[in-house]
Every structure is written in C-alpha cells, then in structure tokens.
Amino acid sequence: MTSSTDLLRIENLRVRIKLQSAHIEPVKGASLRILPGKVTALVGESGSGKSIIAQAIMGILPPVASITGGRILFSDPQSGEPPIDLASLDSRSERYRAIRGHRAAMIFQEPMTALSPLHTIGDQIGETLRIHSDLPAAEVRRRTEEIIELVGIPDPGRAYDKYPFELSGGLRQRAVIAMALICRPALIVADEPTTALDVTIQAQILQLLGELQSKLKMAMLLITHDLGIVANMADEVVVIYHGEIVESGTVSDIFRNPQHPYLKGLLRAVPHFDMKPNERLKSLRDVEVHTGALMNREKQAKPADGAVMLRASHLSKSFMAKNDAGWFGKRSGSGLRALDDVSLEIRQGECLGLVGESGCGKTTFSKIVMRAMRPDGGSLSFDDGTGPIDVLDAEGSELHKLRTKIQMVFQDPFSSLSPRMTVKNILSEPLEIHNIGDAASRLERVTALMNAVGLDPRFLSRYPHSFSGGQRQRVGIARALALGPDLLICDEPVSALDVSVQAQILNLLKDLQAQLGLTYLFISHNLAVVDYMADRIAVMCRGRIVEIAPRETLFRTPAHPYTRTLLAAVPFPDLDRPLDYSVLQLGTASDPRSWPRSFSRGEEDAPLVPASLGEDHYVLARADARAEDLRSW
C-alpha cells in the first residue's frame, strides 16, 4: 500500500530489455519512495539501472525495454485524485502526456544533447508551457523570461533569443533546468545534472537546485554516482547495484552507519583531502599490474629524479573568433587568449597536476606539448637524459623520436578508440607507425601491454564496444605506453568514469608510474583526484598559471583567491563538512575584478609576476605586493 505522504512510490519494479539473442533485466524488483518537498538520491555505478528507473518514471523507456512487473504510484497533490499507477499507463496516452513535463519533469545529464541546436533557448523552454496551457504567446514569453531569470541566466530578454552554442556549459545546464521547471512540477527527476561541469559551476548548480527545490516545494529524485553531491543535497538515499536496491535510509544513516558491503566499498573508493601519505584508494575490483615484460625493454639514459624533463617558457596562444576576422580573412583584434605567458616545469619522475575550469587553457597547453598545435610565442624544450630537444622546432628524425617520448591518455574512452579496430590492432598501430619490431615482437609487446594494465590477453581480438568504460580506458593507457614514453599526459582520464572504476584507474596509473619510472602531466578539474595523484599542482585561470606549489602546501595554505574558491567548491562525502555557499565567489571566481588588489592588475595595469612564498610555492601577484599580504588577505 502506498503511504498518503509519498509523492512517488515504486514497488517491485522490473524492467526487461529484449536483445536479438537474449533478454536482460536491468531493474530487478526495485522499490523506493520520494516524499513531497524532499530530495531522494539514487546512487550506483553505470549500468546499475539508475537511468532506466528514471526513464520508467517519465515513460520514455527505449522501444526495446518494457516494464514487466511492479507499480509506479504517483500522487499528484494538485489533482487531489488517488495515486496513478504510471507503470500501467500507455506512455503515449493523453493522460501520461498531461503528467510528463507538467507535473513530473526531467533534467537530463548532457545539456548539449538535451537542447536542440536549431531552436533558441526561449523557444525550447517555453515549448512545455505552450503544450500544457492555452496561454497567449506574449504571456508564454513573459513566463519563460521569468524562469530564465529565476535559474540565474543573465539578461533574460537577450538569452531568450540565443542558441545553445552561444551559452557556456553552466548556462546550458541552467537552461535545461528552466525547461524542467517552467510548469512548476511536483516532481523533478535530475539525472546526473552536474557530471560534465567544473567544480565551481557544479557548486552553482547545486546551490540553484537546492534553492529552487525549497522555494517551489518540489520533490526531487537525484541520480548520481558522486557521494559528495549526495551528502550536500539528499534527505534520503537509495543505493542500487546490478538492478537491485541493496540499501536505503536517511542520508545520516547511509553515511554514518553503512551496512551493505557494496556501499562501504563505494565510500572507501572516493578520493578525499584527508588521505594519509601513501594511502591507496580501495577499489571494488582490484586490477593486477604485471609490468615485468615492459621493464625489460632497452634501458635508456635518464636524468636524475628532480631534473627538469619539460620546460615551457612564456607560452602564448590566441584564437580568433569569426567576428575578429577582417576583410579577406585578415585578422583584426587580439582574439581569445587561451594561453597568456605560461611558464612551467615538469620534473623527472613527478606527477604535476594542472587544474582549472573548462576554457582556462589546460588542454591547449597539452596540445602544444604534443605538437598538435603551435603557440604564438614562447619556447618549449624536452630532455629525457639524452640531451634537450626544442619541441617547437623539431623536424624529421628528431620529431619522430620526440613522438615516442611523449604520449597522451585521452578523456573519453568511448570516442578515443576506433570502433572498427580490434584491441590488438589498436595497441600495435603505434609500433607499426614507428617501424618497431616485426609481427612476432609486436604481438609479444601487445601481450605485455595487456598484462601491464590488468586485461586478459585473450581479449585482444575483441572490439572496444565489448568492454566497459573502465576497461576501455585501460586499453587507452596501454596504447599510450606502447612506445615506452617518458612523459605521459593524462587529460581528464577518469572524469567519464564511475567512482569505483575511477579508483581502479588511479591506482593503476600510480602503479605504472612507480614501476616504469614515468613522469605525468595530470590534467583535471577534480581537485580530490589531483590531490591523490600529484606531487606538485599548478592552478590555471584564464590562460595563466596563478599558483603552483607542492600538493601538501597548496591544500594546506592556498594563497590565490581563485585557488581558495576551487578548494571551497569541492563537495565532500562527509555530512560534517557541507558546502558553505556563503564563502564561495560563485560566478565571479575567475574574474580578476573580484580578487584583492595584490592579485589583480587593477586600473593602472600593473604587471603580474610569480611571487615566491617559500617551499617551492609561487603565486601570480603584483610586483609590489608583500609576501605577508599574499598569505593573509
């Protein structure tokens, strides 16, 4: 029986997906409840059934999926009618359409795919209101602009007529939230609403959702694998594993007294700032690393630990927008400065973390290091112990050699591997391109690579689609190791992975670094991940390195206001350390005008220089600023 206080109650829900040769059941007898005005978090790994449950609630299951058992009871407080069993309704019926988008709405995970590129933001947000009401066009526009303003998009009148590509990722996600809120629904289903966002933008969205949920008295089903978000947002938590609910309770019960081994494992797999030196993440499934065959390769002269392997000096790079191009394509204006006088050193054997928001220049810097892009100015040198190489001027055999020394692990394991190549072909391709060995030696090398990343060599004939996300990322790491590089650039290597798989990959990267003597440039916007991996951390904002320090120093005594905001915006999976939105400069964190005078050029356009605070700690500040002012502002 459903309780009169439940807005939504799912009882023994079963969903079946019909495949060509078999049936699978991604949801097996799941039961949960959502109370009016409360946030219920549904937590689990990819493939656990979270999104299938959300799609079942909204009546948008794919054609191959069907509900085979159970009930989804929705009690609409506005109608005053008895609970409606959504599972028994035809998802295309008028009654279901009257609920979907109107009384129950959904915030999708990826705003760029949730929004049509061919329609303006205003048209897409107002469409739901036009469908569910008979309001005149002028009133629809007024209410749409009102909700655009409510979700914090600047200048609602102008934003109404903009297209999605004209907005940043954070503003696009706000537009998706506005689409869900326009009819003031009783229930919001939020499917990973902050996964693709930077930590400061994520904090803005979490604050926004919390305020709107409280102001509009909405209930929310929050689907996520980020336990930090759960600790800061949820009233009740439901944990799902392989389609079955394994534990549920209040947020206090879940975090302070977890019972199920799976939940305990999830909590141990999350990197956090309180980890002790040399403490390892506890992944749910360990990966065995066997690097013996790789270590037997021909030894090369290497610089001593601490020697500079990569030195970047005064790198700059600008991109010209279409509006900056003059007649006949001639450039005019300064364009967008992606890198602005960047100087950086990466030392032999270390992991240098590079953090900052999207668009700050992290990936541009990595592409220049990889010779995939040329800077407008500056210099870049690489030295693996055999002598320095000018990265920007290298040609012919010197460039060919350099390509083997620097390799990259990409962010998305799904799009970075060719779906038309077997794993064997993917791993042997770098060896073939560089004419290394014959067929037999290449196969031996490829087998060693599979063992090094914890994959069974029997999988060599498989294609990428037959692997999980974590396994695919391990294939990507193996490909990057194929040529025996000295410097590995890891560009957001775990941002697309679940927390348990993330722990696997991070431990794997640590083991490989220790056993193979690798040097890492680790790019991420997840500061807890960087804290676990890095020896030193560089913070980038608007194309400039604003602070660089050893990991312990940066997290213990951050000096730059941007660094402090980044650290304060990280949601902890700890009920005793909630996000304090009052101290965050949300929306202005990267704006130099909001920084203290010591860190900003100001109206007099004073030069900014790296100021030493001791212990290998530097912060970008005015030349006339005093060290005590930089520490105690």
The pLDDT score that the predictor gives to residue 299 is: 43
Average pLDDT over residues 559-578: 90
The pLDDT score that the predictor gives to residue 81 is: 80
Q: Is the pLDDT of residue 326 over 60?
A: no
Average pLDDT over residues 358-380: 92
- Please give the Cα distance from 315 to 337 (Å, whole number): 11
What is the number of residues in the chain? Answer: 633
Compare 457 and 304 and report the one with higher pLDDT: 457
Residue-wise pLDDT for 185-195, tens only, equals: 999 999 888 87
The two tokens of residue 333 are 């204006």
Average pLDDT over residues 560-582: 88
| Range among 16-25, 101-110, 232-241, 313-322 with highest mean pLDDT value | 232-241
- Residue indicated by tokens 């007898």: 29
Q: Is the pLDDT of residue 285 over 90?
A: no
The two tokens of residue 502 are 């993330």
Q: Which of 210-214, 466-470, 582-586, 594-598 is predicted least confidently?
A: 582-586
Instruction: Indicate the burial class of 153 (C-beta count within 10 angstroms; 0-12, 13-18, 19 or more).
Output: buried
Q: Which of 48-52, 281-285, 341-345 is predicted least confidently?
A: 281-285
Q: How confident is the model at residue 304 (pLDDT cuts 50, 70, 90)?
A: low
The pLDDT score that the predictor gives to residue 377 is: 94
Q: Which of 453-457, 565-569, 590-594, 601-605 is predicted least confidently?
A: 601-605
The pLDDT score that the predictor gives to residue 298 is: 40
The two tokens of residue 314 are 């005064």
The pLDDT score that the predictor gives to residue 608 is: 87
Predicted TM-score of the model (pTM): 0.84
Map out the domains of the chain with their CATH numbers.
292-308+368-526 (3.40.50.300)
The pLDDT score that the predictor gives to residue 2 is: 45
- Please give the Cα distance from 230 to 237 (Å, whole number): 8
The pLDDT score that the predictor gives to residue 593 is: 83
- Please give the Cα distance from 460 to 426 (Å, whole number): 9
The pLDDT score that the predictor gives to residue 346 is: 96
| Range among 9-13, 152-156, 494-498, 628-632 with highest mean pLDDT value | 9-13
Contact between 490 and 509 (Cβ < 8 Å): yes
Q: How confident is the model at residue 111 (pLDDT cuts 50, 70, 90)?
A: confident
- Residue indicated by tokens 């350390």: 577
Give the pairing of strands 308-319 and 377-383.
antiparallel
The pLDDT score that the predictor gives to residue 587 is: 63
What average pLDDT does the chain have?
88
Contact between 541 and 176 (Cβ < 8 Å): no
Residue-wise pLDDT for 40-84, tens only, equals: 999 988 788 998 999 999 999 999 999 999 999 999 877 778 899
The pLDDT score that the predictor gives to residue 4 is: 54
The two tokens of residue 410 are 């990409």
Q: Is the pLDDT of residue 89 over 80?
A: yes
The pLDDT score that the predictor gives to residue 319 is: 83
The pLDDT score that the predictor gives to residue 195 is: 73
Say what percent of the chain tops pLDDT 90.
Answer: 58
Question: 576: closest CA among 247, 200, 255, 203?
Answer: 255
Please, where are the H alpha helices in 347-492? Answer: 362-369, 396-405, 423-433, 439-452, 469-481
Residues facing residue 540 across a β-bridge: 545
DSSP SS3 for 422: coil
Average pLDDT over residues 581-590: 72
Integer-rounded Cα Rg, in Å, for the chain is 26
The pLDDT score that the predictor gives to residue 240 is: 95
Q: How many CA atoms lie within 13 A of 624 on its CB side?
A: 8
Instruction: Indicate the burial class of 93 (C-beta count within 10 angstroms; 0-12, 13-18, 19 or more).
Output: exposed
